[in-house]
Amino acid sequence: MDTLTSPLLATTTRRPGDADTTDTAATDAELTALIDLALDRAARTITIGSGRTPLAVADAAAIAVRWEQAGGSVRATGTWPETVADGDLSPARVRETR
The domain limits of the chain are: 28-96
- pLDDT for res 16: 57
What pLDDT, on the 0 to 100 scale, is given for residue 68? 97
Angle at 49 between CA 83 and CA 63, to 5 degrees: 140
Measured CA to CA, the distance from residue 52 to residue 78 in angstroms comes to 9
What count of other Cβ atoms lies within 10 Å of the Cβ of residue 35? 18
Contact (CB, 8 A) for 6 and 82: yes
Q: What is the mean pLDDT of each run of 10 residues along the chain (98 residues)?
A: 53 57 85 95 94 90 97 91 55 47
